[in-house]
Chain A
């Protein structure tokens, strides 16, 4: 792991041990202000700027020039204000949906920050995620339009049908408030090899109090499973996602028996244990014996840790063909059955994506033609990336 990432991991430790504080301080004495600001940018891209800022203030303020501290404080305050705005908007939207008898569960964003970090200001989030039932999506869409929200995608009726059948969310945007809202009707795309469905998710809403208002979110067990699968699906691009696991496991009461019941033998078991494994390796999260015992079954977890933390986080050629092939290879290891791996490969290389459907609007009887367009679109994408990399 490079020194900047190691520094961020140290900043994210809950009650860091004296040797970690010493390591952070000694690292700071050997760097300049530019390094600090660059590492601040990296913290932001990993979603952990508030923790980075908090650690610097608590353990190393005497080593940092006043001017730099003030700039970092200003960046932190900007995040706090943005989070306050998003949290206030979430409360408003959840009330609007409840007033219209629409069941909704907020997840990630402000509710997760409040649950895991105990504070909406200590986690970075750029949008609001709310799960609704599929039968309600048109009503939610209309209600949000009356509030000034616009869809990101301008879809023709046939494209809209494809989107609602295959995707799992729809992005909306409020131009005046600069709020991004994701309306989810399921947790994964319809064709994803992993089927993550919680049948009882609507029976056990979990109220989280933000600004003295109760907002319903997932039960702790379902949230933890979801976060692990979501993080794995994106190969844990952000330190923040791993820290979420650590803090959720530390702060919330979790029924681990219930979790094992849902996870054991499921499509997403490796993905789930990868999340816990990363959290344990980076943040020394403690899990009950029955969990660590089951985790030990998966001998590939240390290699996955290396592929993600040691290689992917330091990958300077992100987006290139080689980098994407390496990513695909790592992803394939997260699926337990060959059939799922084949389906994943089919989805990313052969199956027409929304890009093909958006390129030309064909009638349903001609949808097979998109399979022929797909290779050209892929070739175009990688050629463009290659040309851009050459120019750099």
Chain B
């Protein structure tokens, strides 16, 4: 993972919290995506932090989690949203 990458939700995504979980609507495809508990946490940190490195560091400080496990969860989250066209990634 390139920790200098800036990531944010694409402009075509409508995000809504429902009963503590996040539901994302891709306005282009009109598909809905649900985020699990881990996804919700990453999404929350994405609101305040710009780069992947900042998100990683903040989450590592906030949660009692192994660095390798966090890196793997972050990687999976980013790949899933990127493949669905829901993320805006800038170098």
Contacts and interface: CB of A to CB of B under 8 A. Distances in A.
A88 B18 contact: no
Interface in A77-123: 77, 80-81, 83-85, 87-89, 91-92, 119-121
Size band of the A side of the interface? 10 to 19
Taking each of A83, A89, A92, A211, which has the highest tally of chain B beta carbons within 10 Å of its own beta carbon?
A: A211
Interface residues of B, number: 11
B42 interface: no
Dominant SS among interface residues on chain A: helix
Contact of A80 (B15, B18, B27, B30): B18
A318 B18 CA distance: 36
A264 interface: no
B23 interface: yes
A177 B17 CA distance: 22
A168 B68 CA distance: 61
Contacts of B30: 85, 177
A85 B16 contact: no
B32 A81 contact: yes
A177 B28 CA distance: 11
Interface string A4-47: 00000000000000000000000000000000000000000000
B3 interface: no
A211 B15 contact: yes
A92 B25 CA distance: 13
Interface in A39-83: 57, 77, 80-81, 83
Interface string B5-23: 0000000001111110001
Contacts of A119: 17
A141 B69 CA distance: 54
Nearest to A87: B14
Contacts, number: 31
B14 A80 contact: no
Nearest to A92: B27
A91 B30 CA distance: 15
Contacts of A85: 25, 30
Contacts of A121: 16, 18
A52 to B, nearest CB: 15
Contact of B14 (A57, A77, A88, A177): A88
B23 A88 contact: no
Nearest to A211: B14
A78 to B, nearest CB: 11
A118 to B, nearest CB: 11
A64 to B, nearest CB: 16
A88 B32 contact: no
Contact of B27 (A57, A83, A88, A120): A88
A120 B16 contact: yes
A116 B32 CA distance: 26
A99 B25 CA distance: 23
Nearest to B26: A88
Which residue, of A88, A92, A121, A177, has the highest number of chain B Cβ atoms within 10 A?
A88
Contacts of A57: 19
Contacts of A80: 16, 18, 23
Contact of A81 (B15, B19, B25): B25
A124 B15 CA distance: 18
A77 B32 CA distance: 11
Nearest to A54: B19
Nearest to B15: A211
A119 B20 CA distance: 13
A211 B9 CA distance: 11
Interface of B: 14-19, 23, 25, 27, 30, 32
Q: Give the 3 A-B CB pairs with smallest separation, nearest first.
A: A88-B14, A88-B27, A84-B25
20 contacts: A77-B18, A80-B18, A80-B23, A81-B23, A83-B16, A84-B16, A84-B25, A84-B32, A85-B25, A87-B14, A88-B27, A89-B27, A91-B14, A92-B27, A119-B17, A120-B16, A121-B16, A121-B18, A177-B30, A211-B16
